[in-house]
């Protein structure tokens, strides 16, 4: 299932993420590049880079290891995985070059399986947790593409866990905790889980036998009940290789969006014949957990831009502070302040245009820049800055060091 959206009457007053993206100069589309292939501007690239760094840091703390895989693979990889058979219509056509056949990466799980299979792995080394933020490519109908929420190039915060049966419950709990932390940090109001099961009337769409599917679906349901996680069941929404838990987050406007996903898979390990050496010195098949916290960076950004209406918290704002000299006489001091801010790691700019101060303040507020630092003769003489917020609050004049302390505390707390 793609983004699920529950619209309310007052949503008519909300700006679309494409409009906000244009107003704040975050991303563009080009007919020459193609629909569904957004291009991120310097400000938009900062925003997505910060989000990608956030996810990498969150997963590192949860003991995931970063890996890297290329953007193409031999056709045989996806034949073994079953993707070409069950998912081929959503992938780009096979590329033939110099007598070889390659496929543009539609998903990373078969690649990560090859990393797991690179050497013998003992039960003492389980679980193996691999993470990577990487772009995959899906062939969508042109009429289905829109903004950042439906694209051809999908950057996933993709992670796969290879674990023993008695570790599955703990890995699901760990994945749920990561998702809950993300919701807290990005200020989503509420959530529930959609337990996506296979359609029993169309079993030909899925890999594996009835026993394995029943076992996996019951296991996931038990885990949700044990952790007292609110959920609803949905038949026919499973991945072709296993059931999944899709996190439905409620934004600041009361709308529901699909973000994170956690999927349980025993079929791909079986198809690739991967194993670990158990305590009995015999080879055993691992369980595989597919999981993503954001789901897709592009789609998450589209949702998040509308969730905040472009009013990003200071830690995420592409520009955290803009310096506004009252007159041309104060530009040199403004540049001195700019240098100190940048040296302190603050994303700042100076508006030294020949416009009125009030015009510059309006423009900065329209760009949703968290702080405006007004500098005039008095501020220059006293080595201070007069601070205003994007909401119009006047915090008065203060030493630059005091402002920096305030800003850094705000960034660290993700307020």
Task: Judge whether 248 and 193 are in contact, CB under 8 Å.
Answer: yes
How many Å apart are CA 306 and CA 190, to the nearest integer?
Answer: 16
Annotated catalytic residues are 109, 138, 156, 158, 160, 244, 290
Question: Tokens 């041309």 sit at which residue?
Answer: 328
Q: Which residues pair with 388 in a beta bridge?
A: 372, 394
With a CB cutoff of 8 Å and minimum separation 6, the contacts of 236 are 197, 198, 199, 202
Report phi then psi at 61, rounded to 5.
-65, -30
**Tokens at residue 405, please?**
């302390």
What is the Cα gyration radius of the chain? 25
């Amino acid at each position: 299932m793609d983004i699920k959206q529950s619209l309310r009457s007052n949503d008519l007053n909300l700006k679309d993420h494409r409009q906000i993206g244009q107003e704040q100069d975050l991303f563009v589309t080009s007919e020459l590049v193609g629909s569904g292939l957004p291009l991120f501007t310097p400000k938009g690239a900062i925003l997505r880079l910060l989000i990608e760094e956030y996810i990498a840091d969150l997963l590192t703390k949860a003991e995931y290891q970063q890996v890297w895989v290329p953007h193409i693979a031999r056709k045989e990889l996806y034949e073994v995985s079953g993707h070409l058979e069950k998912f081929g219509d959503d992938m780009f056509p096979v590329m033939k070059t110099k007598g070889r056949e390659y496929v543009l990466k539609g998903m990373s799980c078969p690649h990560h399986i090859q990393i797991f299979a690179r050497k013998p792995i003992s039960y003492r080394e389980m679980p193996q947790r691999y993470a990577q933020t990487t772009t995959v490519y899906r062939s969508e109908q042109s009429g289905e593409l829109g903004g950042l929420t439906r694209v051809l190039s999908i950057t996933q915060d993709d992670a796969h866990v290879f674990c023993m049966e008695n570790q599955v419950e703990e890995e699901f709990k760990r994945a749920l905790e990561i998702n809950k932390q993300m919701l807290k940090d990005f200020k989503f109001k509420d959530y529930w889980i959609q337990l996506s099961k296979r359609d029993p009337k169309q079993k030909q769409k899925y890999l594996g036998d009835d026993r394995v599917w029943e076992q996996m679906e019951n296991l996931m349901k038990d885990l949700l009940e044990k952790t007292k996680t609110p959920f609803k069941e949905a038949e026919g929404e499973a991945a072709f290789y296993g059931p999944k838990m899709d996190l439905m987050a409620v934004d600041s406007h009361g709308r529901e969006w699909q973000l994170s996903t956690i999927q349980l898979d025993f079929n791909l390990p079986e198809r690739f014949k991967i194993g670990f050496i158990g305590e009995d010195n015999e080879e055993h098949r691992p369980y595989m957990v597919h999981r993503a916290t954001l789901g897709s960076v592009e789609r998450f950004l589209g949702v998040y831009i509308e969730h905040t209406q472009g009013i990003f918290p200071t830690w995420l704002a592409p520009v955290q502070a803009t310096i506004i000299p009252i007159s041309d006489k104060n530009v040199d001091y403004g540049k001195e302040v700019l240098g100190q801010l940048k040296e302190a790691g603050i994303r700042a700019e100076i508006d030294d245009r020949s416009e009125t101060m009030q015009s510059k303040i309006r423009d900065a507020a329209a760009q949703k820049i968290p702080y405006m630092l007004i500098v005039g003769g008095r501020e220059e003489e006293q080595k201070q800055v007069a601070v205003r917020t994007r909401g119009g609050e006047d915090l008065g004049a203060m030493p630059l060091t005091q402002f920096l302390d305030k800003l850094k505390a705000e960034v660290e707390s993700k307020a």
